[in-house]
Amino acid sequence: MTGTPNTKRVFIKTYGCQMNVYDSDRMTDALAIEGYEPTDHVEDADLVLLNTCHIREKAAEKVYSELGRVRVLKEAAAREGRRVVVGVAGCVAQAEGDEIARRAPVVDLVVGPQSYQHLPALLADVARGKRPVETEFAIAEKFERLPAAARERTQSRGVTAFLTIQEGCDKFCTFCVVPYTRGAEVSRPVARIVEEAERLVEAGVREVTLLGQNVNAWHGAGPDGSEWGLGQLLYRLAEIPGLARLRYTTSHPRDMDDALIAVHRDLPALMPYLHLPVQSGSDAILAAMNRRHRADDYLRLVDRIRDVRPDIAMSGDFIVGFPGESDADFEATMRLVERVGYAAAYSFKYSPRPGTPAAGLGTQVSDAVASERLYRLQALIAAQQTAFNQSKVGTHMDVLFERAGRRPGQIMGRSPYLQAVQLDGDPSWIGRIGRVAISGLGTNSLFGARIEAVPAPRATPLPEMAT
Ligand code: 5AD
Ligand code: SF4
């Protein structure tokens, strides 16, 4: 779509997890039917939306500093006689609601993640001079409620895409705000998911990552009325012609059942990469976190997954400095990491979140101790990641080519293990899968050379590559 003098422009800044990335895309789709065209330049925007994250204190604070910068732009536009509307969406909006409007006068509207279907109405309120704050948990099926035109408006955004199939969390880990900001676990119906996946594939997507705060808690009724879990859904999606690769994230160890594990053995389209957060290797800390499993349960689970898919790349999340974490508890985490051997993992210093049970515990770990633990853990994880990447040098891997590379004449793709691969190649390869000989290891990616065209994991109508 090209701009006309009447086109309004929206700039959305996205913080936090992939679910927010997905939500921002859907907001863009919904706003498009209201006449808003997306822009990457905040200074051109008539509507600025911050899609925020509340998971840790730093993430939440970023919103207020960004609002300071947006205020300068809004005032400059006003001097030119141009109105800029500023909205805060996402989990900070949900958690802080009216407080944001009070603390930041620049904000015209506040909208929580369950209410994006109301965005057009909220913008109309703003035009009438109101400052709406909408944080109802009215419905979880927000995108099912969008006008059909918005749902059908899936714009091409490249070769890979996220697809939310489940939202919310009932697990109530004692450190986590998600059950409060995203509400109870809700699964989207099969038909809606299949429809959206088909539209994505039509728009050029070849790899879909299914999203959910507890994605493996997804369940729904299959076409014959029988109860489906994530495994059956993955099989159904793999039938879509042209959909070459599937991934899912984020999983909870307690929802990782045998049926889903078997899919990792049997479904070639399901990529061998699993993000399975454990948070800590200490049973005492896991209990205090209300994770409701022990470290050994997790290790045995990883063994069972590796029994069926020995090459699987494991990833995880860790928190250090949880209240009451002793040196011995932390060493148990280090031992668990050593035992699992991660291909990638994310680790964070515990951040007390208002309203969560752990925030009230009187045994907070000092920042200096937490920092030192984080440093050691991240060094171990970085070494494991390098070792994993190094282990692929000299092998041949199927790479899905995603976009032009860093330098002219280069192309960038991803291995089944989610590693970035850079190689000499032609933009016409984008969207196809080719076999690549991995020759070396850079800081953030592997290097290689294409050796032959390969068909996608299933028989799909993807074009064969010319040699
Ligand atoms: N402090 C630090 N890390 C947290 N996470 C969630 N809540 C907190 C918190 N209060 C981490 C967990 C989770 C990831 C998304 O963020 O590791 O898996
Ligand atoms: Fe937060 Fe725990 Fe739910 Fe994950 S499982 S979203 S960490 S409460």
How many Å apart are CA 360 and CA 353, to the nearest integer? 9
Considering only CA atoms, which of 329, 333, 330, 265 is closest in space to residue 298?
333
Which residues line the annotated binding site for [4Fe-4S] cluster? 17, 53, 91, 169, 173, 176
Query: Ligand 1 centroid vs 201 CA: distance in angstroms?
Result: 33
Atom number, ligand 2, closest to the C-alpha of residue 170? 3
Query: Ligand 2 centroid vs 326 CA: distance in angstroms?
Result: 23
pLDDT number for residue 186:
92
Query: Ligand 2 centroid vs 249 CA: distance in angstroms?
Result: 12
Supply 270's token pair: 């399901």
Name the closest-CA residue to atom 5, ligand 2: 171
pLDDT number for residue 146:
56
pLDDT one digit per residue (tens) for the chain, 467 residues = 444 556 899 999 999 999 999 999 989 988 988 899 999 999 999 999 999 999 999 888 899 999 999 999 999 999 999 999 999 999 999 999 999 999 999 999 999 998 888 899 999 999 999 999 998 875 455 556 555 555 555 555 699 999 999 999 999 999 999 999 888 999 999 999 999 999 999 999 999 999 999 999 999 999 999 999 999 999 999 999 999 999 999 999 999 999 999 999 999 999 999 999 999 999 999 999 999 999 999 999 999 999 999 999 999 999 999 999 999 999 999 999 999 999 999 999 999 999 999 998 888 899 999 999 999 999 999 999 999 999 999 999 999 999 998 888 999 999 999 999 999 999 999 999 999 999 999 988 999 999 976 555 454 444 444 33
CB-based burial label for 188 (10 Å; 0-12, 13-18, 19+): buried
Atom number, ligand 2, closest to the C-alpha of residue 289? 2
Q: Check: CB of residue 211 under 8 Å from CB of residue 165.
A: yes
In whole angstroms, how large is the CA radius of gyration of the chain? 23
Closest-lying ligand to the alpha carbon of 217?
2
Pocket test for ligand 1, best of 182, 291, 319, 377 (most atoms within 8 A of CB): 319
Closest-lying ligand to the alpha carbon of 55?
1
Domain boundaries, the chain: 8-138, 396-454
pLDDT number for residue 137:
73
Query: Ligand 2 centroid vs 286 CA: distance in angstroms?
Result: 13
Closest-lying ligand to the alpha carbon of 352?
1
The two counts, helices (H) then strands (E), for the chain are: 14, 21
pLDDT number for residue 59:
83
- Within 6 A (CB) of ligand 2 lie 169, 171-173, 176, 178-179, 213-214, 252
pLDDT number for residue 364:
86
pLDDT number for residue 363:
86
CB-based burial label for 456 (10 Å; 0-12, 13-18, 19+): buried
pLDDT number for residue 33:
84
> Which CATH code for domain 8-138?
3.40.50.12160
Query: Ligand 1 centroid vs 114 CA: distance in angstroms?
Result: 21
Closest-lying ligand to the alpha carbon of 56?
1
Atom number, ligand 2, closest to the C-alpha of residue 177? 1
- What is residue 338's three-state secondary structure? helix
CATH of 396-454, one of 1.10.275.10, 2.40.50.140, 3.10.180.10, 3.40.50.920: 2.40.50.140
